[in-house]
A and B are shown apart, each in its own frame.
Chain A
Amino acid sequence: KAGVTQTPRYLIKTRGQQVTLSCSPISGHRSVSWYQQTPGQGLQFLFEYFSETQRNKGNFPGRFSGRQFSNSRSEMNVSTLELGDSALYLCASSLDGRGTEAFFGQGTRLTVV
């Protein structure tokens, strides 16, 4: 079966712009989580959505937001981009939040110039 799909794979944006990243989870999975990975801070949790509701949120400013659609696909939006937002953004999907597996996509590498 198809894995977790993230689009786009690479993105270059200018400071002050906004960006939307997309994540399609494994079919049947209802939980989608987002993570930011940077060399300095490592992997940090952004937020998790389950059945279209944000269930958990990490310590990121309000410029970072997300949503989940009825088909479990999720989008993450970052407004007013800053240079420090340059990172690999990974999403993970799991069945219902109780599973013993969490599968990640290939990530979207965002560069802010």
Chain B
Amino acid sequence: AQKITQTQPGMFVQEKEAVTLDCTYDTSDQSYGLFWYKQPSSGEMIFLIYQGSYDEQNATEGRYSLNFQKARKSANLVISASQLGDSAMYFCAMREGSISNFGNEKLTFGTGTRLTIIP
């Protein structure tokens, strides 16, 4: 079974609109972390935002926010007021681990969503 599912292979959004990129995950661990990355055509993976499984508040970083719904195992990325520079691939990733052994740095990635911002 897929551990990270991103169901939107591609999205087209008008500039200045908000956009939501979907991510669902599957884990039996109680302690885990969820990451979102942006990958422009240059190839670099740019860290955007992190949500811990025990965090009660949704994470926010500037124009990025994470809509974390633990019961639904959903961690959608919301980009407000999209810009042309937001056009890129976006990856959701998860790091699993227990409280006593949270040193597992392995990230499991989804297949990504290609976001295109239209002027």
Q: How distant is the Cα of A56 from the Cα of B102 in the complex, in angstroms? A: 12
Which one, B43, B93, B104, B106, contacts A109 given CB within 8 A? B43
Q: Which residues of B contact A100 (CB under 8 A)?
A: 33, 50, 52
Q: Smallest distance from the beta carbon of A42 to chain B beta carbons, Å?
A: 5
Kindly state the interface size class of chain A when it binds its partner: 20 to 34
Which one, A33, A58, A105, contacts B44 given CB within 8 A? A105
Indicate if B12 sits at the interface (CB-CB under 8 A): no
Q: Which residues of B contact A96 (CB under 8 A)?
A: 103
Which one, A42, A58, A90, A98, contacts B106 given CB within 8 A? A58
Majority SS at the chain A contact face: strand
Q: How distant is the Cα of A58 from the Cα of B106 in the complex, in angstroms? A: 9
Report yes or no: A102 in contact with B52, Cβ–Cβ below 8 A.
Answer: no
Report yes or no: B106 in contact with A102, Cβ–Cβ below 8 A.
Answer: no
Q: Report B89-119 residues with CB < 8 Å from chain A CB.
A: 91, 93, 95, 102-112
**Which residues in A have some Cβ–Cβ distance to B below 8 Å?**
31, 33, 35, 42-43, 45, 48, 50, 55-56, 58, 88, 90, 92, 94, 96-98, 100-107, 109
13 example contacts (A-B, Cβ-Cβ < 8 A) are as follows A31-B103, A35-B107, A35-B109, A43-B91, A50-B103, A56-B104, A56-B106, A90-B45, A92-B105, A97-B102, A97-B105, A103-B47, A105-B44
